[in-house]
Structure 1
Amino acid sequence: MSDAPILSVKNLTTSFLVDGRWKSVVRGVSFDVRQGETVAIVGESGSGKSVTSLSIMRLLAPMSSRIEGEIILNGRDLTKLTDKQMREIRGNEASMIFQEPMTSLNPIFTIGRQISEVLTRHKGMSKTDARAETVRLLEKVRIPNASSRFNEYPHQFSGGMRQRVMIAMALASKPKLLIADEPTTALDVTIQGQILDLIKILQEEEGMSVLFITHDMGVVAEIADRTIVMFRGEQVETGPTEDIFNRGQHPYTRALLSAVPKLGSMQNHKWPTRFPIVDMKTGTAEEPIEVSGTVAAEKAPVLKVKNLVTRFPIHSGLLSRQTGAVHAVEDISFDLFQGETLSLVGESGCGKSTTGRSIMRLVQPTSGEILLDGHDVLKLQPAELRSMRKSVQMIFQDPFSSLNPRMSVGTAISEPFIKHKLGTAKQAKEKTADLLEKVGLSADMASRYPHEFSGGQRQRIAIARALALDPKVIVADESVSALDVSIKAQVCNLLLDLQQSLNLAFLFISHDMAVVERVSHRVAVMYLGEIVEIGPRAAVFENPQHPYTKKLMSAVPVPDPARRGIRRGITNDELKSPVRKLDYRPPVRQYREVSEGHLVQVA
């Protein structure tokens, strides 16, 4: 590693034009990135980390943004270059990978053409040479059958494979600097591990410098040589990653680290445990408190799912005949008791969200039984179904898309109460005020609209709306996965507190293993539409038996810089396709009992 910086940022201040006045969102940021080094910028939403990266690449709208200070890349100050000169820099000397590859790739062009364009434009290659180099790049980022996938379109690739395509495109011109802005946030934990390993390996092979933007401290620990901590637009601490983690000085740094849930931290806890709430200004954290058990497992389950199958037909050909089916959920069974949290975990495409939607009858199951308080949900008529939904409610991942932007939050919360004719308008207003207080907001916020709230507050509003009908069961579908670490802790604590006070049963759907370990009584691991392992939380986490469960656990990034040299070993395995031909007959699965209530699918 050379001492000469590839990138030197000095006193960077970025402002945006708001209502005719300049408002600074990044103030006085300075750092260097040396050759072959990985520097991470870490902080929560609104800290200014992504604006910093966009400022370096000069990707902000010039009419409404202003960049001050120096951004020196290979001896040239990027703030003084023309737009044409910057276009030459981008891709050639510095490249960027964004969080969501589907929005960065053009859906109407093949991925081969999109990568080749970089080579013909920046390197002046012929089409033939560009094609050969593109195939080599796709092989380099471990895309199987690269030559045969050259002419495929972005929608034909999974999320992890699309991110690999973005990395191949970013590396096409052999840049000296790669800026990766939250490149793994939207990915499943096993795919995230593969992408992190891939970036490390390519960095070693190419001698490239990496500026890595993230809010995940586990990722920072695994990939960064040095770390910059940002808070409200300012750089509050900089240093070697090991020093930041072990000897962090700033209260916000310590708070950020304290708020990260760590896999394996529940070994001495019998019951689900509240997250330590951290004061982001002082860095102090309260001690975690166990939420005492209220599960009455000897009684009849409030929800009983038996041999549930949900398939989606695939039609093709001129006459649009059914040629196959997506086997989204395949013969799964479980019970859920009052006051209990059962978590469904697995990667995207494993069927966990479809299970939740099938229980709600938001999608129509193919066969099986769903018994809610003894009533078969699948046999209910429309009027009975509406009545059933008073007993089971759903919280979705993105509260902004599940709240009507034209409706005040008070109206949104009271609407189910009024629609189900549970009381007068005055009672609905009183109920709404009570629910807002219950979820940690104030009653006078009822007149505001969704855009006036933060992400965490919007999720609290969604929870309040789910509680409006006094349900017995709540299906929480990735309800905290989009939240910053400190907000995630607050919302999880809220759910645990509500469960204890209202005796709620939660079906908690998530891919975040550390959160699941903390909030669950029992855990079911799903793979390709099937439950491969189910049991008490301690049994599954402390004694995982199925190979897929072990794979999920080992892929979780651990916030420990001592693991920085570890390689998981890249494989090209992604979740296999659940698409089956019409004549497919699924095998009858057998389970063995490892310990009381801990069942594992026999291969």
Structure 2
Amino acid sequence: MQNLTTSFLGEDGWRSVVKNISFDVGAGETVALVGESGSGKSVTSLSVMRLLQPDTSRIEGNILLAGKDILQLSEQEMQKIRGNDVAMIFQEPMTSLNPLYTVGDQICEALLCHRNMSKAEAKAEALRLMEKVRIPSAASRFNEYPHRFSGGMRQRVMIAMALVTRPKLLIADEPTTALDVTIQGQILDLIKTLQEEEGTSVLFITHDMGVVAEVADRTVVMYHGDAVETGDTTTIFRDAKHPYTRALLSAVPALGSMTGRVRPLRFPVVDIRTGTALPPVEAADTVAQDVPPVLDVKGLTTRFTIHSGLFGKLAGRVHAVENVSFSLQPGETLSLVGESGCGKSTTGRSIMRLIEPQSGSVMVNGQDVMAMAGHELQGLRRTMQMIFQDPYASLNPRMRVGASIAEPFLEHKLGTKHQARERVADLLERVGLKADMASRFPHEFSGGQRQRICIARALALDPKLIVADESVSALDVSIKAQVINLLLDLQSSLNLSFLFISHDMAVVERLSHRVAVMYLGEIVEIGPRAAVFENPQHPYTKKLMAAVPVPDPARRGMRRGQIADELHSPVRVPDYVPVERQMREVSEGHFIFQ
């Protein structure tokens, strides 16, 4: 890449968002592109693939692939390269998968277009890769549609699509963002193995400095469209020169930082100009144990039926959530952690009644959510809000973001349109955006910026309970620190309760009072944060801890050896009767289920 400059046409003319950057990716090499959301990382990758709208974008410079300048190729020649010589794993899987086609057909498409294969051969290869990226029951899920998969499962489908043709260059735009740590480790191992077997080069775009340390040979740091620092990954981690690079490294949460502390811990506040970080302080909130819980869940069970054959005979059920029970006190944060597809998001959606559970009770402020319907349920939702996992899928692409944030405020008749505009401006500022961005549409923001918009919308009604489904997974480290500090401040000032669904164990350790570990739809361990992190008892909890990426370049090339693990599936036969788990108390409030 030589002197790449990418500009977009706006009302005030052409505006450059990637400015004169140059770097190489060698054969079999991994180069990491890191920086804040909106810094130009994804635009750089889209420029390489030539996927930007030609009438509103302009790409200048040279992009050489094996010596051939792809900016000079015709669109027909470019089609032969996309998905074949160069493949891309996109940041938001739901916007990249076609909802009208099964995931199997979409994985096979690249093979049928670029390889001389029959449909049967293409299906066999697609199934092999689906199993390799650890999609449980790959054969039975081959003909399912994207909406039947969790966010993490959809990301694994995207990875399978990108790897299926064994490309020369793989552009991975936040490929592990939606994945829990165990699957993230397996995917990183898979990409390393592909490099060794095929000599594949990887341009790895991420905000996770732990991942950068483990996979990247060289690192390019981007800030406001400029490449501010480039060099060997080990050198950058140990002797960063630019203040912004030092700021990024300072904001990386490390597992174990909460040892010996009781309360949630604010993230370091970083001065971008100097790269220095103020020492983190404990959040000032305390949890009242002698008052009724905000949320009380008992025996929650949610299953999805699977039909097959010409007449739709019942073939089985997905036991997504099985007999889950917990409570949440005012001002408390309970984190749900576990593998993608383990039932975390389904639990959150079942509590909100966005999915209808089969059985169980959900009490919010003493009111039975399961017994409500219509306006009564809508009124209760003012006190409980949800931040969804996929920000683009949860925003209306035809509505300006200001209108999306104001919609719940106006729907619940909390004020006038003028008051709604003031509320929107205040919320955008509080989540680190500018008030004048309210007039933009969702597609004009980066993935991280869209997630901040969704957080602002959830806060519009001043709720007492927020179900945060991977609410900071799409954010880079510096913005993640700001948003989590914001959530802690709001929790302290408004006595908010959070059901925090996440796969980022370091973040969970920072902000949780209690932690519940889920596996195949069941809670296998639950207890105070210190007890679970410092004395994990269940084998799966120990496995989660061991898989957390560490920001240490000395671990580059390390293998976790988890790909060969047995694949487990929550799919059961129709007459399956769940096993009753035995609960054992390890210490006060710390339970495991076996």
RMSD: 3.8
Letter in 2 for 1:359: I
Q: Structure 2: how far apart are the matches of 1:430 and 1:105?
A: 35
Whether 2:300 is the aligned partner of 1:308: answer yes
Distance of 2:19 and 2:182 partners within structure 1: 36
**Contact 1:263 1:513 survives alignment (8 Å):** yes
Instruction: Give the letter aligned to residue 528 of structure 1.
Output: L
Give 1:455-470 correspondences, 5 Å limit.
455=450, 457-467=452-462
Deviation, 1:513, is 1.5
Letter in 2 for 1:13: T
Please state how far the C-alpha of 1:449 moved relative to its aligned partner.
Answer: 6.7
- Counterpart residue number, 1:78: 70
The within-5 A match list for 1:276-287 is: 276-287=268-279
| Residues 339, 505 of structure 1: 8 Å contact kept | yes
- Supply the AA of the counterpart residue of 1:351: G
Q: Distance in 1 between matches of 2:430 and 2:135?
A: 51
CA 1:507–1:410: 2 relative to 1, 3 Å: closer
Structure 1 residue runs of 4 or more that deviate by more than 6 Å after TM superposition: 143-146, 426-431, 440-447
| Separation in 2, partners of 1:433, 1:104 | 29
Match of 1:4? none
> 1:414 maps to what in 2?
409
Counterpart CA distance in 2 for 1:145 and 1:45 is 29
Distance in 1 of aligned mates of 2:421 and 2:163: 57
Measured in 2, the distance between the counterparts of 1:433 and 1:65 equals 30
The aligned amino acid for 2:514 is R
Shift of 1:430: 11
Give the alignment of 1:513-532 within 5 angstroms.
513-532=505-524
Q: Are 1:343 and 1:508, in contact at CA under 8 Å, matched by a contact in 2?
A: yes
Q: Deviations over 1:541-560 (max 9, x none)?
A: 11211122122222222221
AA matched with 2:323: D
Q: Which residue of 2 aligns with 1:5?
A: none
Check if 1:221 corresponds to 2:216: no
Structure 2 equivalent of residue 597 of structure 1: 589
Is 1:142 aligned with 2:132?
Answer: yes
Structure 1 residue 332: deviation in Å?
Answer: 1.4
Matches of 1:197 and 1:446, distance apart in 2: 40
Is residue 568 from structure 1 mapped to residue 563 from structure 2 by the alignment? no
Distance 2:112 2:373 in 1: 56
SS state at 1:418 partner = coil
* Alignment equivalent of 1:48, drawn from 14, 37, 40: 40
1:549-594: per-residue Cα shift (whole Å, max 9, x none)?
A: 1222222222211111210114255873323333221111111111
Secondary structure (helix, strand or coil) at the match of 2:324 reads strand
Tell me if the contact between 2:405 and 2:460 (Cα under 8 Å) persists in the aligned partners.
Answer: no
Residue 233 of structure 1 and its aligned partner are, at CA, apart by 1.2
Of 231, 234, 244, the match for 1:242: 234
* TM-score normalised according to structure 2 size: 0.85
Give identity over the alignment, percent.
59
Letter in 2 for 1:232: H
**Equivalent residue of 1:197, what SS?**
helix
Pairing 1:335-414 to 2, within 5 Å after superposition:
335-380=327-372, 382=374, 384-398=376-390, 405=399, 408=403, 411-412=406-407, 414=409
Kept after mapping to 1: 8 A contact 2:405/2:453: no
Matched, 1:188 2:183: no
Native 8 Å contact 1:433 1:442 kept in 2: no
Aligned equivalent of 2:286: 294
Does 2:333 match 1:332? no
1:579 aligns with 2:574: no
The residue aligned with 1:533 is 525
Structure 1 residues without counterparts, runs of 5 or longer: 1-8
Give the letter aligned to residue 181 of structure 1.
Answer: D
Matches within 5 A, 1:32-47: 32-47=24-39
Which structure's relative contact order is higher, taking Cα pairs within 8 Å and 6+ residues apart?
A: 2
Cα 1:165–1:378 change in 2 (3 A) is closer
Counterpart of 2:18? 26
Change (3 A) 1:596 1:450: farther
Contact in 1 for aligned 2:107/2:157 (Cα 8 Å):
no
Question: Which residue of 2 is the match for residue 510 of structure 1?
Answer: 502
Deviations 1:4-29 (A, max 9, x none): xxxxx222222333348333222221
C-alpha distance in structure 2 between counterparts of 1:446 and 1:209, whole Å: 37
Aligned residue for 1:110, secondary structure, equals helix
The CA distance in 2 between the partners of 1:397 and 1:92, in whole Å, is: 30
Asked if residue 253 in structure 1 is aligned to residue 245 in structure 2, the reply is yes
Contact 2:34 / 2:222 at 8 angstroms: preserved in 1?
yes
Residue 415 of structure 1 aligns with an amino acid whose one-letter code is L
Aligned residues: 578
Measure, in 2, the Cα distance between the counterparts of 1:162 and 1:399: 19
Are the counterparts in 2 of residues 399 and 462 from structure 1 also a CA contact under 8 Å?
no
Do the aligned residues in 1 keep the contact of 2:94 with 2:390 (CA within 8 Å)? Answer: no
Distance 1:155 1:83 in 2: 30
Q: Distance in 2 between matches of 1:133 and 1:457?
A: 39
- Residues in 2 aligned to 1:206 and 1:303: alpha-carbon distance in whole angstroms: 51
> Using the alignment, how far apart are the partners of 1:440 and 1:134 within structure 2?
47
Question: How much has 1:534 moved relative to structure 2?
Answer: 0.2
